[in-house]
Amino acid sequence: MHIPVMLNECLEALITDPSGIYVDGTLGNGGHSAEIFLQLKAGGRLIGFDRDLDAIERVQQKLKSGEGKHVELVHDNYANMTGQLDRLGIDKVDGLLLDLGVSSFQLDLAERGFSFQQDAPIDMRMDQQSGQTAGELVNTASEQELADIIYRFGEEKASRRIARAIVEAREKARIETTLQLAGIVERAKGGRKGKKTHPATKTFQALRMAVNDELAGIEQVLETMIGRMKEGGRIVVLTFHSLEDRLVKQFFSRHVPREESLQQGGVRRIFEEPPAKWISKKPLIATDEEQTANPRSRSAKLRAVEVGV
């Protein structure tokens, strides 16, 4: 089961016109989308994206157009969103939601190879139909490349040691499974030492982000979609770790005007077009109740802006 994170907070930030056009860039199990669709009125339109075909097929069973409301599902990377909207004849939209990262379905299904708790071939691709698997990456990238990936996308201090251990292990035999890889990382880090999180957590995150080119995708959808928002339209993003959150925060900050005093007196507003305003300056986090009920919500941060002056 994938429980939608901060559902009410997302919907409240997102929907301004119930007859408008809304895009969910990360359908997953359709938790947020189902609620968006419910809140839409006649004339309302929901476009849902996921690069995972399983997610599209799952949501297809749940959401059907009716009562004057329309739903369209698109199997594609959200980085290609504007091209897909062009194809659908849509210019501007009222709201865009991104609930970043992987779904519980992807994590829990051993054969998807995302988890260091279940043994399976190391895949980690969100789109199973394209791209290099994390197993191919681990077995072919140079030691330097691996260290860079693990440091940059995992913020893992022991990245060099882990990369060395991976290369030494694969010289003996190809690294085939998630548990094998988790064991190599754990030994390189000197065991668990009573830590709450598994020593391979950051390495697995880094490999997943690398094979799915996650940060570039987030950057691209934000850069291209901010110009496709209607005046007063909202972009709402749920992030789950510091790399995602920093990127989203910095992107929005560039569009929120700040005032600079001029030498000759007066002020000037500095911002990238189009201007936007924070819906809440500080990111929202899940309530204590939600954090207890759904551990995945503990690391969530909701950032949202309204586009326009």
Residues that bind ligand SAM (CB under 6 A): 2, 4, 26, 28-32, 49-52, 55, 77-79, 99, 101-103, 126, 217
Q: Which is nearer to ligand SAM, 99 or 245 (CB)?
A: 99
CB of 303 to ligand SAM, least distance (A): 15
Q: Which is nearer to ligand SAM, 76 or 176 (CB)?
A: 76
CB of 239 to ligand SAM, least distance (A): 11
Reference 23, options 217, 216, 236; nearest CA is 236
CB of 240 to ligand SAM, least distance (A): 8
Show contacts of 140-149: CB within 8 Å, 24+ apart.
143/167, 149/206, 149/207, 149/210
Q: Which is nearer to ligand SAM, 13 or 169 (CB)?
A: 13
Q: How far apart are CA 161 and CA 206, in angstroms?
A: 15
CB of 26 to ligand SAM, least distance (A): 3
CB of 227 to ligand SAM, least distance (A): 19
Tokens 């329309």: give the residue.
Answer: 70
Q: Which is nearer to ligand SAM, 167 or 236 (CB)?
A: 236
Compute how many other C-beta atoms are within 10 angstroms of the C-beta atom of residue 160.
Answer: 17
Q: How far apart are CA 105 and CA 110, in angstroms?
A: 10
Q: Are the beta carbons of 166 and 175 closer than 8 angstroms?
A: yes
**CA 270, 221, 81 angle in degrees (round to 5)?**
135
Q: Which is nearer to ligand SAM, 168 or 213 (CB)?
A: 213
In single-letter form, the type of residue at position 56 comes to I
